[in-house]
């Protein structure tokens, strides 16, 4: 029968080559095996699919929505010298990251890997939800819009978790190429890094600030590999009443879409994010954001939530209505009348309405008796709400336009019909060689410290941070920039949000932190995974989080995983996630992957270094126990906790000095976890005045930062720092060993500190005072002296203005 509102796609007669061509031309991003599965399904139905049916399947089966690479079988082989080991994963995600969470059985995990975000317990009445998303492809093509809708999308994830959480804070982590990259080095069809940075920062700024959600934590990494594929991670944390965490759709409930209108923006976003970009990639796949609309949706939605006016909701993200309705109706079925969707402008084809990723829309399931009241609440807040159809009990997705059936697919095929493909993965563990001993004079070390502080990956990100309103909502206690006086600043380890406006009389707070390191990923992704997990945990612990109640999120950004070597490096990293999540007792509660970060032009391929972002969310029991990094008072004692090893591999020092040898830092959880527990114990007794961890740049950078943001100098005896092996002063100062913290202690509390920290490895190394950082070694007859404001200026000036 000839249809008026859709086209039949003649699939049954197509050859393999033609199927693949169709997948490419229509941006379906489906493999041959998947296309053949679809072909077979419709052959059994004895008809051809319509355009909207094929699009629905492509959106639902996209890498973005189904994470098919990480959930399909992987034959993994690890090669270390002559030694080979193999292992088959049936579902990499389930058997590593998710498995760790199951194994740890933390009763404070309230919802894991099931909803739009992970949720842990905050107090007896509330849960804390956290999610971090990536928006890499859109930000590469249209930096401002891509980043804005990235943050807008993750805020909706939090709004759409359970029956809706109230967003309290945003996080952002970016990976860029050097803003000074000359134009001639930028591949054809791409924006210059400087333009990308300005656009991305502007996008996050304008969306986050207008939403009234403070952007409180983040990181910026620089590496040449991000020239063609910048990475943009956006996160949101929110609080949700515990009795609003579960949702359930029932047949006959109305499907109500609220928020922005549907337009032609963001067509094929879900599938486009799974293909490699080239100079002809279509910018219209990027959505257009409107934060004021989203703010209105937020305001109205939380009122309706508290009046119990809907039974389920989710956000329209990748795949638009097709994913949102498809997901909500997966157990029931749905009947959708697409002509009822309000449009930005006429002329959209039904399939375009169905998959458009126009922003600021949420889909709700509403019982008949509540519909009138619900519609009124949205009307009062100037938000459009429209009934699009209803949920059914036939387990079918039925799509109509002006009463004509234009698509009908079994829910089971849609959600479980995706064929599994076994992939091969190989990981070669690179051999690491210790570098030649680094011998430098005091003068050279002093100059090197300045260089390391000024390095793009260490320097102040104040230019970016201050463009975000990190104070809105009034709950940001530990801020991204901390100091003893408002004229100076140092980079905080983590952010602390104290939700007193939502929960009057609470003492509890939420800690957000992150760990990421690009240069470690170039050497060994297993060690990188371990290091960034520990880095996120250290950061959270520094401000006062209890290590026994920290949850993690993973975000894998990888290159082309059709390449077994690339997939192998991912599997190795996932193994590290399992191992160290278990060792630290910190479960992963949600995550996201962005694969295929590859760009090709003129036969040349640009791929990214494997980059894992680990974000941590912890709980602080008493807000009065938070600790920040600036040194507080002259005369206080300085301790270094943890052991320094000769681990210069992947360090900032090595990259500045172009040294390729060096051992990449390893994580020794049996050393660092007890340290973290003791730090928390000492903080409860107010025995620690300031705390900062040593990470990029090493101990020298760590102590410098504590000095200048406290506007106090320090005298450090380098001979007293505990080392694992014989090391030169430069190696001690610039090695990036994990598991190390610097703390400041009042003289009267020194004895108590010794008592608490024994038998861990730690030592007293000096005292706070003066206006210089003085580092001495009697053994090496060496004295390094540098004014703290000289150190601060070096740290600040690199990215003072872009």
Contact mark string toward another protein, 452..481, x via CB under 8 A: -------------xxxxxxxxxxxxx-x-x
DSSP for residue 649:
B
Which is closer to another protein, CB of 249 or CB of 543? 543
Which is closer to another protein, CB of 732 or CB of 745? 745
Give the residue, chosen from 71, 111, 628, 636, that forms a contact with another protein under the rule CB under 8 A: 628
Q: Output phi, psi for 109, to 5 deg.
A: -80, 115
Structure tokens at 420: 């599994």
Structure tokens at 434: 């210790």
Interaction residues for another protein, span 352-381 (CB under 8 A): 380-381
In angstroms, what is the minimal distance from the CB of 714 to another protein?
A: 19
Taking CB under 8 A as the rule, does residue 36 contact another protein? no
In angstroms, what is the minimal distance from the CB of 84 to another protein?
A: 54
Taking CB under 8 A as the rule, does residue 280 contact another protein? no
Which is closer to another protein, CB of 189 or CB of 212? 212
Which is closer to another protein, CB of 34 or CB of 294? 294
Question: Any residues with CB less than 8 A from the CB of 485 and at least 6 apart, and which?
Answer: 711
- Nearest by Cα to 462 from 481, 449, 441, 477: 481
How many CB atoms sit inside 10 A of residue 779's CB? 10
Query: Which range in 425-433, 596-604, 622-630, 700-708 contacts another protein by CB under 8 A?
Result: 622-630
338/336 Cα distance (integer angstroms): 6
Taking CB under 8 A as the rule, does residue 485 contact another protein? yes
Query: Which range in 251-259, 451-459, 493-501, 654-662 contacts another protein by CB under 8 A?
Result: 493-501
In angstroms, what is the minimal distance from the CB of 639 to another protein?
A: 21
Indicate if 64 belongs to the active site: yes
Going by their DSSP bridges, the two strands 83-89 and 215-222 should be labelled as unpaired
How many CB atoms sit inside 10 A of residue 308's CB? 12
Interaction residues for another protein, span 693-712 (CB under 8 A): none
DSSP lists the bridge partners of residue 478 as: 496
Dihedral, CA atoms, 488, 492, 497, 500, nearest 10 degrees? -40
In angstroms, what is the minimal distance from the CB of 303 to another protein?
A: 11
Q: One of 67, 135, 268, 415 is an active-site residue; which one?
A: 135
Edge-first strand listing for the sheet containing 598-601:
277-278, 598-601, 604-607
Give the residue, chosen from 89, 144, 413, 498, that forms a contact with another protein under the rule CB under 8 A: 498
Q: One of 64, 137, 268, 415 is an active-site residue; which one?
A: 64
HEC per residue, 74-133: EEEEEEECCEEEEEEECCHHHHHHHHHHHHHCCCCEEECCCCCCEEEECCCCEEEEEEEE
Which is closer to another protein, CB of 283 or CB of 502? 502
Taking CB under 8 A as the rule, does residue 272 contact another protein? no
> What's the count of helices (H) and strands (E) in the chain, helices before strands?
27, 34
DSSP for residue 664:
B
789/772 Cα distance (integer angstroms): 8
Interaction residues for another protein, span 291-310 (CB under 8 A): 291-292, 295-296, 299
- Nearest by Cα to 435 from 204, 653, 628, 697: 653
212/157 Cα distance (integer angstroms): 16
Which is closer to another protein, CB of 151 or CB of 571? 151
Taking CB under 8 A as the rule, does residue 82 contact another protein? no
Per-position b or e across 732-760, b if 16+ CB within 10 A of its CB: bbbbbbbbbbbbbbbeebeeebeebbeeb
114/111 Cα distance (integer angstroms): 6
Which is closer to another protein, CB of 519 or CB of 636? 636
In angstroms, what is the minimal distance from the CB of 304 to another protein?
A: 15
**In angstroms, how far is the first alpha carbon of the chain from the final one?**
60
Which is closer to another protein, CB of 290 or CB of 524? 290
Which is closer to another protein, CB of 405 or CB of 481? 481
Q: Tell me, rounded to whole angstroms, the distance of Cα 279 from its chain centroid.
A: 27
DSSP lists the bridge partners of residue 405 as: 400
Taking CB under 8 A as the rule, does residue 67 contact another protein? no
In angstroms, what is the minimal distance from the CB of 280 to another protein?
A: 33
In angstroms, what is the minimal distance from the CB of 297 to another protein?
A: 11
Which is closer to another protein, CB of 263 or CB of 610? 263
Structure tokens at 144: 């401002």
Which is closer to another protein, CB of 492 or CB of 644? 492
Contact mark string toward another protein, 198..237, x via CB under 8 A: -------x---xxxx-------------------------
Taking CB under 8 A as the rule, does residue 484 contact another protein? yes
395/411 Cα distance (integer angstroms): 6
In angstroms, what is the minimal distance from the CB of 203 to another protein?
A: 13
In angstroms, what is the minimal distance from the CB of 769 to another protein?
A: 19
CB of 616 within 8 A of CB of 539? yes
Give the residue, chosen from 307, 502, 685, 778, that forms a contact with another protein under the rule CB under 8 A: 502
DSSP lists the bridge partners of residue 637 as: 745, 767
Q: How many residues bind another protein (CB under 8 A)?
A: 44
Interaction residues for another protein, span 428-457 (CB under 8 A): none
In angstroms, what is the minimal distance from the CB of 459 to another protein?
A: 18
802/800 Cα distance (integer angstroms): 7
Give the residue, chosen from 225, 301, 561, 623, that forms a contact with another protein under the rule CB under 8 A: 623
Which is closer to another protein, CB of 483 or CB of 651? 483
Give the residue, chosen from 12, 88, 624, 660, that forms a contact with another protein under the rule CB under 8 A: 624
Query: Which range in 73-81, 83-91, 359-367, 482-490 contacts another protein by CB under 8 A?
Result: 482-490
Query: Which range in 448-456, 483-491, 518-526, 570-578 contacts another protein by CB under 8 A?
Result: 483-491
Element (H, E) at 201: helix 193-211
∠ CA 143-148-154, nearest 5°, is 125
Give the residue, chosen from 511, 626, 667, 679, that forms a contact with another protein under the rule CB under 8 A: 626
Burial class (CB in 10 A: 0-12, 13-18, 19+), 473: buried
Tell the residue number behind the tokens 């003492």, with chain if given.
507
In angstroms, what is the minimal distance from the CB of 752 to another protein?
A: 22
In angstroms, what is the minimal distance from the CB of 544 to another protein?
A: 12
305/177 Cα distance (integer angstroms): 43
Structure tokens at 666: 């390893």
Indicate if 135 belongs to the active site: yes
Taking CB under 8 A as the rule, does residue 505 contact another protein? no
Q: Applying CB under 8 A, which residues contact another protein?
A: 205, 209-212, 290-292, 295-296, 299, 380-382, 465-477, 479, 481-487, 498, 500-502, 504, 623-624, 626, 628
Which residues form the catalytic set?
64, 135
């Amino acid at each position: 029968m000839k249809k008026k509102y859709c086209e039949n796609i003649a699939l049954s007669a197509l050859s393999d080559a033609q199927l693949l061509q169709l997948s490419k031309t229509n941006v379906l991003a489906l493999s041959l095996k998947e296309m053949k599965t679809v072909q077979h399904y419709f052959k059994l139905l004895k008809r051809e699919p319509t355009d909207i049916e094929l699009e629905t399947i492509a959106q639902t089966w996209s890498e973005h929505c189904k994470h098919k690479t990480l959930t399909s079988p992987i034959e993994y082989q690890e090669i270390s010298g002559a030694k080979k080991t193999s292992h088959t994963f049936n579902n990499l995600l389930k058997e590593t990251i998710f498995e760790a969470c199951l194994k740890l059985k933390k009763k404070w995990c309230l919802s894991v890997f099931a909803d739009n975000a992970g949720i842990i317990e905050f107090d007896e009445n509330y849960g804390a939800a956290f999610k971090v998303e990536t928006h890499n492809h859109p930000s590469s093509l249209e930096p401002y819009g891509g980043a804005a809708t990235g943050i807008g999308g993750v805020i909706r994830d939090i709004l759409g978790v359970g029956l809706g959480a109230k967003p309290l804070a945003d996080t952002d982590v970016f990976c860029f190429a050097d803003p000074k990259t000359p134009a001639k080095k930028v591949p054809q069809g791409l924006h210059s890094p400087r333009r990308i940075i300005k656009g991305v920062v502007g996008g996050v700024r304008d969306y986050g600030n207008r939403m009234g959600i403070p952007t409180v934590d983040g990181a910026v990494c620089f590496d040449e590999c991000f020239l063609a594929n910048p990475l943009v991670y956006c996160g949101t944390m929110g609080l949700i009443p515990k009795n609003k965490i579960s949702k359930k759709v029932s047949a006959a409930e109305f499907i109500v879409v609220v928020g922005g209108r549907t337009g032609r923006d963001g067509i094929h976003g879900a599938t486009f994010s799974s293909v490699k970009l080239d100079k002809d990639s279509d910018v219209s796949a990027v959505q257009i954001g409107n934060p004021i609309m989203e703010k209105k949706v937020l305001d109205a939605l939380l009122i309706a939530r508290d009046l119990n006016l809907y039974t389920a909701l989710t956000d329209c993200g990748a795949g638009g209505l097709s994913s949102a309705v498809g997901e909500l109706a997966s157990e029931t079925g749905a009947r959708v009348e697409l002509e009822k969707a309000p449009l930005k402008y006429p002329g959209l084809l039904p399939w375009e309405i169905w998959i458009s990723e126009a922003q600021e829309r949420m889909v709700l399931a509403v019982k008949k008796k509540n519909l009138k009241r619900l519609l009124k609440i949205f009307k009062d807040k100037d938000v459009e709400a429209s009934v699009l159809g209803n949920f059914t009990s036939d387990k079918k997705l039925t799509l109509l336009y002006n009463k004509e059936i234009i698509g009908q697919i079994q829910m089971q095929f849609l959600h479980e019909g995706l064929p599994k493909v076994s992939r091969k993965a190989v990981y070669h563990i690179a051999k690491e060689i210790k570098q030649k001993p680094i011998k430098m004079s005091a003068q050279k070390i002093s100059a090197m410290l300045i260089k390391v502080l000024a390095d793009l990956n260490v320097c102040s990100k104040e230019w970016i941070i201050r463009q975000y309103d990190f104070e809105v909502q009034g709950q940001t206690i530990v801020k991204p920039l901390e100091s003893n006086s408002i004229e100076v600043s140092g980079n905080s380890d983590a952010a602390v949000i104290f939700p007193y406006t939502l929960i009057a009389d609470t003492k509890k707070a939420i800690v957000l932190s992150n760990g990421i390191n690009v240069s470690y990923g170039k050497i060994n992704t297993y060690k990188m995974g371990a290091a960034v997990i520990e880095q996120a945990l250290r950061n959270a612990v520094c401000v006062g989080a209890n290590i026994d109640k920290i949850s993690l999120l993973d975000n894998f950004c990888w290159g082309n995983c059709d390449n077994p070597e690339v997939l192998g490096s991912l599997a190795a990293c996932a193994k590290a996630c399992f191992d160290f999540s278990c060792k630290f007792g910190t479960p992963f509660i949600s995550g996201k992957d962005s694969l295929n970060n590859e760009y090709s032009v003129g036969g040349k391929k640009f791929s990214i270094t494997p980059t894992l972002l680990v974000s941590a969310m912890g709980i602080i029991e008493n807000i009065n126990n938070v600790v920040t990094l600036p040194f507080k008072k002259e005369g206080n004692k300085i301790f270094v906790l943890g052991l320094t090893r000769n681990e210069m591999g992947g360090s900032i020092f090595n990259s500045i000095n172009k040294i390729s040898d060096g051992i990449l830092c390893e994580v020794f959880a049996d050393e660092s976890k007890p340290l973290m527990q003791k730090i928390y114990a000492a903080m409860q007794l107010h025995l620690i005045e300031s705390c900062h961890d040593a990470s990029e740049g090493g101990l020298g950078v760590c102590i410098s930062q504590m000095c200048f943001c406290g506007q106090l100098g320090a005298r450090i005896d380098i001979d007293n720092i505990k080392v694992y092996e014989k090391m030169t002063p430069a190696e001690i100062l610039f090695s990036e060993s994990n598991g190390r913290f610097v703390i400041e202690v009042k003289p009267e509390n020194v004895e108590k500190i010794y008592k608490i920290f024994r038998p861990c490895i730690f030592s007293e190394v000096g005292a706070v005072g003066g206006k210089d950082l003085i580092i001495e070694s009697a053994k090496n007859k060496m004295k390094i002296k540098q004014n703290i404001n000289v150190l601060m200026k070096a740290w600040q000036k690199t990215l003072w203005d872009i």
